[in-house]
Structure 1
Amino acid sequence: MLFFTIWPLFAMICLGFILARSRFPSEAFWPAAERFNYFVLFPALLVSSLVAAPLRDPAILRLGGAAVATVLLASAGLVVLRRLRPVPAARFGPALQGVVRFNTYLGLAVTATLAGPEGLGRAAVVLAVLVPLVNVLSIIALSERSEGQSATLLIRTILRNPLILACIAGMTLALSGIGLPFGSDRLVKLLAQGSLPLGLLCVGAALQPAALRREVTALAGNSALRLLAMPVLGAVIGGLFGLNGVEALVLVIFCAIPTAPTAYVLTRQMNGDGTLMAGIVTAQTLAAVVTIPVVLMLFGYR
């Protein structure tokens, strides 16, 4: 049964939550661990996966196109809803991030569990096209039109994002045919192996159950859009793009996983509603324990 295949991933998240609340090994450890993973281990995982990905495969190109189309269509729908029911950028930003952003650690962990190295290669392609896109959309959503610094902040954030830089490096090495020379592939793979377990622990450490006490309706609605509506949208668009097999599975997985904990950091940086964003992250991560197995089984992935 699918649930028994992926429950260890959520057990890692729970362990991270327990350890952080127990202040073990220390309060300072978890921010440092998340930063180390974000700037070193996770980029290594992206590079190692992209270098081995068959980027010239037409199915890979269709997968990237389907992923972009899914996110853009969902974003357009949210913009239409905002026009019907106006809300400030401080609240619209968290709402959009809750729907279009994704927890990369959990997504790659689920993909590795269900599809192995082949799935990781496909997932790296999804990240290569979506990481820049969702970051741009998130910053725009959090920015009021009157803010003159939004374009500068957007460019600076993109150029400083280690995931975007890792995706560029990995795709360049893959397309050039150089690969990772002189045994550096082994070094990068060793670093990459530590990314997913540490990432899942950090996801648990970042959960804020206290944020669930406010705005239950908003949290439930946003979670339903992300965890239930997005997989349906991804599956439909994937079908229109002719995806099947591993490519279709990867797209559905990245539509079915909860939003990224790093969305809270960006929201706070841009003066958005941090409490709402923390609630969205926590609610979706907890609900995903049930929704991910159910969604994948409904779409025939067992």
Structure 2
Amino acid sequence: MITSPLMTALIVVAPVMCLIIAGVVFKRVGLMNDAFVEGGSKLVYNISLPALLFNSIYTADFSTAANPTLILTSVIGTIVFVLLAMVFAQVNIRERVDRGVVIQGAYRSNIGIVGLALSANAYPSFFATASVFMACTTLIYNLLAVLLLNFYSIKQYSIKDNLIALVKNPIILSIVLALSASYFELTLPSVAEVSLAYFAQLTLPLALLCTGASLQLFAMKTEVAPMIFANIGKCIAYPAVILGSGYFLGLDSVAMGILFLMSASPTAAASYIMAKKTNNNPVLAANIVVTTTIVAIPIMMLSLIILLQYGIIAPAEAL
């Protein structure tokens, strides 16, 4: 007989994994090509994901859409982890330029696609909370990435330009607009609401398919030690530090569930883009994205079963 924790893990993780695998298969058989993946990813990032986040927060109660303690946990836990990882990297990673890439790969979870999809599967009535959490965590992720990669890079880049780009991020802007609309109880025309809903429904399936298909774009090369360090950090150490922070700050089991699903997600493809932009070993960054996508899911499944068994996180609402 299938146990409740195992059933929960399957319900939460399996649909997401199936769509990622489908993306890999579709790319291989020619149903998706590089142009489709690039265009689809841009559509998700600039239009449909902001629409999804705006819609989920705009229609939610403002007082419940933001969980300050959950957000604070992410900020504190991520900063603590990065500081510890910097000490570790100084001792164990020989090439200076690789250190920022490994640290970024170890903490920068794919919360905008994989993490959000997992949270939507597990706790659909808390999707607005997960959306606000994702926006705030995206800010800290990007800010730390800019500082880290600039610190470890041989050539220094403009932090100001990166921060300006961060402020213009369509995901961040959509969250700010949605919170403002919710707070002031603004009402959109029916046509706008229906159109936003259509774009929102497009987001997660297309994003997950493109995530799977994009794995084919990265040429795997052997950089074993840094990849091992990044995978251990991403799949085990970072979620452990984040959950420890959440336990210390007294989060409830649902918030702990969202925290785990977000933090344990594979490394975001944006880490590759950032590394390439700043000339910080983009090949290593690409390898980390691929390997964590392969390794993180089974480790997440096992961890999810254990955390559910001990009541640390709440069961999925579907059960």
TM-score over 0.5 for the alignment? yes
Aligned length: 301
Q: Which residue of 2 aligns with 1:105?
A: 113
* Contact 1:48/1:192, CA 8 A, preserved across alignment: yes
Distance 1:62 1:179 in 2: 29
1:230 matches 2:238: yes
Q: For the structure 1 residues 15 and 126, does the alpha-carbon distance in structure 2 shift closer, same or farther, using more than 3 Å as the test? A: same
* Contact 1:54/1:60, CA 8 A, preserved across alignment: no
Residue type matched to 2:224 in 1? V
1:54-77 deviations in Å (ceiling 9; x for gaps) = 453598111111111111111111
Residue type matched to 1:56 in 2? S
Residue 88 of structure 1, CA deviation: 5.4
Residue type matched to 2:40 in 1? A
1:141 matches 2:140: no
Distance 1:252 1:25 in 2: 31
Residue 11 of structure 1, CA deviation: 1.3
Q: Which residue of 2 aligns with 1:264?
A: 272
* Contact 1:16/1:203, CA 8 A, preserved across alignment: yes
Residue 295 of structure 1, CA deviation: 1.2
1:154 matches 2:168: no
Which of 250, 255, 262 does residue 247 from structure 1 map onto?
Answer: 255
TM-score (norm 2): 0.86
Which of 206, 215, 220 does residue 223 from structure 2 map onto?
Answer: 215
Map 1:69-108 onto structure 2 (within 5 A). 69-85=76-92, 90-103=97-110, 104-108=112-116
Distance 1:256 1:18 in 2: 24
1:49 matches 2:61: no
Q: Which residue of 2 aligns with 1:281?
A: 289
Q: Which residue of 2 aligns with 1:35?
A: 42
SS at match of 2:243: helix
SS at match of 2:280: coil
Q: Which residue of 2 aligns with 1:22?
A: 29
Distance 1:75 1:25 in 2: 37
* Contact 1:45/1:192, CA 8 A, preserved across alignment: yes
Distance 1:152 1:71 in 2: 22
* Contact 1:209/1:279, CA 8 A, preserved across alignment: no
Residue type matched to 1:131 in 2? T
Distance 2:96 2:31 in 1: 37
Q: Percent identity?
A: 25
Identify unmatched segments of 5+ residues in structure 1: none
* Contact 1:69/1:237, CA 8 A, preserved across alignment: yes
Which of 164, 167, 172 does residue 172 from structure 2 map onto?
Answer: 164
Q: For the structure 1 residues 227 and 10, does the alpha-carbon distance in structure 2 shift closer, same or farther, using more than 3 Å as the test? A: same
Root-mean-square deviation (CA, aligned residues, Å) is 2.4
Residue type matched to 1:227 in 2? C
Distance 2:249 2:189 in 1: 35
SS at match of 2:34: coil
* Contact 2:93/2:226, CA 8 A, preserved across alignment: no
* Contact 2:57/2:65, CA 8 A, preserved across alignment: no
Which stretch of structure 1 is more off in the superposition, 139-148 or 126-135?
139-148
SS at match of 2:215: coil
Residue type matched to 1:198 in 2? L
Residue 193 of structure 1, CA deviation: 0.9
1:7-27 deviations in Å (ceiling 9; x for gaps) = 121111111112223332433
1:255-289 deviations in Å (ceiling 9; x for gaps) = 11111112111211111211111111111111123
